[in-house]
Structure 1
Amino acid sequence: MGRRPQPQIKERLLDACADHALAHGLPDRLEPLATATGTSARMLIYHFGTRDALLRAVLGRARQRQLDTFGDLLRARPDEPYTATLNRAWISITGPDGQPYLRMFGQLRESAEQQLWPNFRRTATTDWLGPLEDGLRSIGRPDLATLVLAVIRGLLMDLDATGDTTRTDRAFRDFRAFLDFLEAVEHPSSGHRSTAGRSQEHVSGDRTSTDTASGT
């Protein structure tokens, strides 16, 4: 009689594999994952069926973590202008918290490993439209979601190619100022984005942050 599935063990192994892949990249062999999880390649195959099935599961788990983390960062908050929310999300996405995801999914886009997730490029784009539309609705412009996403993705590609944090941060600040201008034009009587609120913003090195009640 064969062993019964043990979903709790499978979940624990999957989390450990995702941790390893985010820290070191998606391996092309099972051995690094077996070592990271303290088990054997044979046991990984037992739980996941095939190498490719395990790697797809690892990618899916990492992607869900990214969506959960950065989807929450993109959520509109009543105590701050949405452009400040976008700024905080940009800093996190391009900082230490976001870099492992950018490396992993950048590798997926550029290599033969994309066969593990054939529609990834489309999914990686459309996944973010909903959260951005919801957030931009707070300033009355959900229709700008595609534009905002295109700018962010373009700047991330620039940052990946050049490593120039100073220049890409400056470009994002300029784009944020453009969104502030649009909001001021469309809602001139709104106190949501006041001059006093803008005066609280400051630049620490080359990273812009905003003093808000939620803390940044």
Structure 2
Amino acid sequence: MGRRPQPEIKERLLDACTDHALEHGLPDRLEPLASAAGTSARMLIYHFGTRDALLRAVLGRARKRQLAAFGDLLRVRPDEPYTATLASAWTAMTGPEGQPYLRMFGQLRESSAQQLWPDFRRVATTDWLGPLEEGLRSIGRPELATLLLAVIRGLLMDLDATADRARTDRAFSDFLSTLDHPVVG
């Protein structure tokens, strides 16, 4: 008779593997994850089935964490203009709190990692439209959610490619000022 599944152990392993992957990126081999989780590669396979299944579970757990953290950052606050909320969210997303997520999910743009979550680019776009639309509704501009998301994603790719934080921060601030003071033409 085989062992019965132990979901609490699987959850603990998944959390440890997710923590490691957020700090170091998705590994090519199971050994770094096994070491971080205090177990063996064999036990990871026992609980998750395959390396790819484990990596998909790690990505899913990391995505849930990111949605919770960034979603809270984008939440409308009655005592604050939404453009100030967006400015604070940008600082957190591009700072130490957000960098692990940007690094990990940036790996999904590469062809080999993209196979782990083929639909990620679409999901990563549509996940944020609702919260941004809701926030922009508070300033009477919900129709700009797609534009705002495109600006954020473009500046994040720019920041990743150039590491020029001052320039991308200034560009985001300049964009936010157009929301505060729309150009009338």
Aligned equivalent of 1:12: 12
- In the alignment, which residue of structure 2 is the partner of 1:174? 174
1:84 maps to what in 2? 84
Deviations 1:59-96 (A, max 9, x none): 00001100100011001000100000000000000000
| CA-to-aligned-CA distance 1:76-132 (integer Å, 9 cap, x gap) | 000100000000000000000011111111111124111010111111111110110
Q: Distance in 2 between matches of 1:177 and 1:161?
A: 25
Question: Aligned-pair distance for 1:28?
Answer: 1.2
Work out whether 1:51 is the aligned partner of 2:54.
no
Aligned-residue Cα RMSD (Å) equals 1.2
How far apart in 1 are the matches of 2:111 and 2:40? Answer: 27
Q: What are structure 1's unaligned runs of at least 5 residues?
A: 186-216
Which structure features the higher share of helix residues? 2
Aligned residue in 1 for 2:98: 98
TM-score normalised by structure 1 residue count? 0.83
- Take 1:91 and 1:47, find their aligned partners in 2: how far apart are those partners? 37
Residue 144, structure 1, aligned to residue 127, structure 2: no
TM-score (norm 2): 0.97
CA distance in 1, matches of 2:165, 2:49: 42
What secondary structure is seen at the aligned counterpart in 2 of 1:140?
Answer: coil
Residue ranges of structure 2 left out of the alignment (5+ in a row): none
**What is the distance in 1 between the residues matched to 2:156 and 2:141?**
23
**Percentage identity across aligned positions?**
83
Partners of 2:6 and 2:107 in 1: CA distance: 31
C-alpha distance in 2 between matches for 1:110 and 1:84: 34
State the distance in 2 between where 1:69 and 1:176 align: 21
Find the residue that maps to 2:84 and give its secondary structure. Answer: helix
1: CA distance, partners of 2:160 / 2:94: 10
